[in-house]
Each structure stands twice: as structure tokens, then as C-alpha cells.
Structure 1
């Protein structure tokens, strides 16, 4: 991983745990072509990766003849682990489940705020500066509202779980998950268009894959009722950017976008100044003290590897996986 990632994620307690489990090579490597990195690879049975990790190319794999496992102290491994890693029989684990926790917590917060129309109320209150006795600004509420969850991914499942205590109807669209399993999660399985038609808030948790790029297109957005809110903490390109911009500029829909396409938006994007849009800079994922959860998850997997036990969170071969 990059030295900056290592400094952020691998706190002293985690490093101490690692030293008690394995022999650590010296240094943090984000260039695997250096003599020091090649010397470390020649001895390595396990590699711990993170943000800023270089690609484990066939040449890198050839330089690591003893490599048996990769533990990723972050979410997606698609950026740095090609299929050749799995083809070689290397076991792979990811801290994606740990990273799903703050994303789901962020989603819960903004879903409830969207239901209360907090953005619109705050904007109106700021503009008017005064209210008559008993008067309210933009009205809203969460009692009996409907939340549509797009994809029963790791984050999507956690969102459903966090929504369960609230007085909401929760819908899920995921064609790859059995409807019975969706019901066991505590949600109602529906098709994509029905999800849009019935949702007061549509929250997107679909991994960005070739088949999900632009999945939420103009037709899906058009099915959302007037005043509905779109929440995206997944990947910006899952939503058709032009279609979403048109709906938001018209004022028909609201949005909370932690990710966009492109990211960041160009300075002249009309969304920066829309009162019905909240843009956040990819902050839903692990940050600050939440990074300890990633480190703990990664070290837990190293402990299992050192004890000869299978990973708790294995990552399937990318050609057989629908994860990001």
C-alpha cells in the first residue's frame, strides 16, 4: 500500500499484533520493482495491501514464489488484484465488510434526514429568518415512509438492518438474491421499476460492474415520485449522470450524493449550487477512528491465516464474483 495509507490505517496496536503473528518485512512498498520490494516478495507468504496498492502483475507474482495469501485492509480488490492471483491459487480476503459499517451508518443518517426534509427546511429557514408561531418550513416525516434499497450488497444488507427499528417500509431490488432471502433480511423484494415507483428515498448500494454502469437511467429516475430523494454512497457511474442532473436541476427530485460521475464534479456543474442537492466528498467510507476497524479486520484475517484457518471474509475470483 502507499506509505500514507499505512500510516493512516495500521496504528501501533495493529502493528504490534502483526508482529506477534508473523515476521514483518521491513518497510512499506508501493513500488514493487525496487530491489527492497523484490527481496521482500521473494520471502513473502502473505501480503497485506491497502489504498494505493500497486497491481500484482504476473511479473510481481513470479517474484513471489511463496505467496499464498493477500489480505486487503480496505474494500475493493479489483484495482490491484488481477485474475492471475486467484488462478495461482492465492487466497484473498478483504475488509469490505468492515468498511460497509460506516457507509451504512452514513446512509441511515441521510435517509432519515431526507424523510424529515431537513435540507429544504434549513434552506427555507435560512432565507426567511423568521417563522410565525406554530409555523413550519418544508414538511416531511418518516412515519410509514418507503425506502428503496438498490442491491443487497454488504452495505445494502447493513442498511436494511439499520433501517429495521424505524417505522419504515423497506424494499430491495437485487436480481441475484433469492426473494426469500430478501424477506429474511426484513425487506420486500421488488423489481427495479417498482422500487423507483414506490420509494420516497432510493438509496444506491450497487457495485460498479459493466452490467451496472448507468443502471439507474432516465427511465428509472422518471418513475420516482415528485419530491423523492436519491442517495448514492456506492459509485457515481451506477446512475446516469446526465439524467440525474436534469431531474435535479428541474427541482423535481432531491439528492444526497457522496459519489458522482465524474468525481469530483466539474466546477461549473449546476449541482454545486442546487438547494435540493447535498454533495459530500466521498466521506461515507471509513475515516478517522473508523480506520481502526479496517486494521482490526485485516489483522484478524492474518491471525486466521497464521493459525492455518480459512479466511472469515474471502473474496471470490473476479470472474465469478459480483462484488466491486
Structure 2
């Protein structure tokens, strides 16, 4: 650590994963950090653990957690940093730690970009190459080459719109650009300078768009007019990857789907289900099928050609939802971010921040309470 004289830290790991090897390396690099692990388990979609002693709560200075928090800020007088293993922090909005303290919050944005981007490309290719139809033909033992349309359009020259150009959007853009898509990006705030276009968060090596050079055009704004300008760019595939905040709740509804429907866009949502007004989405998807759509942009057809949804509203998606049975829809159970490297990458953020704390530098991936992400 050179000339650094770090203060004593006590880090509590409160997650349902085994991380002994990761913590061994952390202890070697930061011998002044006391690390305590309190085991958790997943049971029926819930995370459970034994109660934590008050003395432990009182002593910790850093908490690494999936989403379990202390009962109240008064329990943790020495806590100055909470690191969450998720990219989204909408679970924290109602917490007193969000609303009543200045405890620093960091997230795992950037960790999940590679696997989510792979899921995104999977859905684009599955839709354009009629994978549902091909699998059904195989199931029926039918050599159905005459049933597969010859006019299957590849990605070259199509427009890939990224609504929310964060870590996930950047890696998906990188992959789509490699397939020949023209990428355009939408962000909440303007990105008019090279520095503003850079990614200042955690980046998995050899991924993403670190300098923001991939999009051919950038759009921005917090108003509907700015959003509609972006959506009017004849988008073929729209990736929704914005964080869920009060401002982005039902960001896309009937007016937005009507604009996208002019080019029969394909929508991919890896954000949160509530970003889309789900009933309006269903109506737009049904309109396409009922007006003669044949899989891509179709003259005379309205609505959306299809959707791939890894998130829904609510979750789990009720068994009687129309989404399950729409032929032009793929629903997956919020699994696109799952990967064997997630926890290790998230602790790389913890490692970098322990160094930054010791050096008196700003934190990596610090969450803005004002922005909500």
C-alpha cells in the first residue's frame, strides 16, 4: 500500500454465496480490514439468515449485501459504505439508509454486462431466424424448409436503439455493432463531449464501449419530446436498459409504442417490468399479428413485431397473462444476468474501493441518490 496509513475497517459480508477464496485474497491485500461472514441461504425465492448480534452491527464499517440491510441506521453507528451485489438499487428507495442517512452506496453496475448482452443477441437472432418455428418443426419431426420465410433480414444496416446507455447497453451495443447494426443511444443527460461519453464505472476487460465511440448518434432528455425524437429514428430493435426510478416508471406506453410501431420495432427489456406499461405493450404486439405482420418491418402492418422480456410486471408473471401465449413474444424469468463470474466481479469493485478509501479518492460505482442510480 506504499505510504498509505489506512484506518481500521470491519467489513461484513451478508450474501447467499460462498466466497471464501475471494475473501482470502482480499485479506492478503488488506490485512487491516477485519472481514466477517454471516451466511445466508436462498429458500423459495427468499434470502434468509440467522439474526445478527447487535455488537456486530455496531462494529461494522462496510456492508456487502445482496439486499439485506440492518434493521435501522441506529444499529450501525460506524457504517460508512454499503455495497450491493445488484446493479439496480430500486429496492433501497424506501429504506431509511436511502432517505435518512449519508452512508455511501455502491452497486455492481458493469458486472452483468457480458451475460446480459449475450442474452440480448440471443433474442435478436432467435427472432430474426424464426427459432421458435424451427424448434417446433424439429419437435414434430418435419423437414419444413418450405415453411421458413426466405426474406430473413440480417443485422447489417438495421438500427439498434439503446434506451439507457449504461454498462449493459454499452456491451449490447458492442455486440450488435459487430453484427452490422447502426447503434444510436439515449441518455438522461446530454453527452456532447468526448469526456461525457466515457464510461466511468466498473468495466469488465475487453467489453463495453469505454470511450463511447460506438453510437452514430446520441439523444438525451428527461421530457417526452426528447424521448419521442429518439424513438422516431426508424428503430428496428430497441433495447430497454434504464434503471427503474419514478421518472422511468411506465416510460414506454401507448404513445411510445405507436411511434415504434411505425417501423414495427422489436423490443427487448432487461431493465424492470414497470418501465413498460404492460397492457399497452400487449396491445401493440397483438396489433402486429392481427394486421398481417410477417416477422419484420411489414408494409401496412401496425404495432410491434415482437418482444423479448426478461422482466415483467409483476414478477413472477401470472399464469393467466396473455404474454405467455403471444407467438411474437419470449418471456424468461429474470435470469439474463445470471453468471458464474458475477460475485467475483462484484468483489473486484469492493477491492478497488478499499484502495480508494485508503487513498482518499472517490468511490467506484457510487450511487447518486438524486438520480436514483
Task: Sort the TM-score into its range (normalised by shorter chain).
Answer: 0.7 to 0.9
Mean CA deviation greater in 305-314 or 131-140: 131-140
Q: Which has the higher helix share?
A: 1
Q: Alpha-carbon deviations, 1:87-137, whole Å to 9, x = none?
A: 644332221221333223322332344444444555577679234589755
Tell me whether 1:207 sits opposite 2:236 in the alignment: no
| Aligned positions, number | 313
Q: CA deviation at 1:72?
A: 2.0
Mean CA deviation greater in 63-72 or 127-136: 127-136
Question: What's 2:4 paired with?
Answer: none
Scaled by the length of structure 1, what TM-score is found?
0.81
Matches within 5 A, 1:31-46: 34=51, 36-46=52-62
Tell me whether 1:68 sits opposite 2:80 in the alignment: yes
Matches within 5 A, 1:140-151: 140-151=153-164
Q: For residue 334 of structure 2, give the secondary structure of its aligned residue in structure 1.
A: coil
Q: For residue 162 of structure 1, give the secondary structure of its aligned residue in structure 2.
A: helix
Q: Give the counterpart of 1:94 among 104, 107, 114.
A: 107
Structure number with higher relative contact order (C-alpha < 8 Å, ≥ 6 residues apart): 1
Question: What's 1:15 paired with?
Answer: 23
CA distance in 2, matches of 1:176, 1:128: 53
Alpha carbons of 1:171 and 1:264: their partners in 2 closer, same or farther (altered >3 Å)? same
Q: CA deviation at 1:7?
A: 3.8
Question: What's 1:173 paired with?
Answer: 186
Is the Cα contact below 8 Å between 2:137 and 2:144 reproduced in 1? Answer: no
Q: Alpha-carbon deviations, 1:268-303, whole Å to 9, x = none?
A: 112212221111111111333443322333344345
Matches within 5 A, 1:11-160: 11-20=19-28, 21=30, 22-25=33-36, 27-28=38-39, 34=51, 36-51=52-67, 53-54=68-69, 56=70, 60-80=72-92, 82=95, 84=97, 88-119=101-132, 122=135, 129-131=142-144, 136=149, 139-160=152-173
Matches within 5 A, 1:121-270: 122=135, 129-131=142-144, 136=149, 139-179=152-192, 184-190=213-219, 191-197=226-232, 198-223=234-259, 224-225=261-262, 227-250=264-287, 251=289, 252=303, 253-270=305-322
Q: For residue 78 of structure 2, give the secondary structure of its aligned residue in structure 1.
A: coil
Aligned-residue RMSD, C-alpha: 3.4
Q: CA deviation at 1:309?
A: 4.5
Scaled by the length of structure 2, what TM-score is found?
0.72
Is the Cα contact below 8 Å between 1:5 and 1:50 reproduced in 2? Answer: yes
Q: Give the counterpart of 2:15 among 2, 6, 9.
A: 6
CA distance in 2, matches of 1:229, 1:289: 29
Q: Which 5+ residue runs of structure 2 have no aligned equivalent? A: 1-12, 41-46, 198-211, 220-225, 290-302
Q: CA deviation at 1:139?
A: 2.1
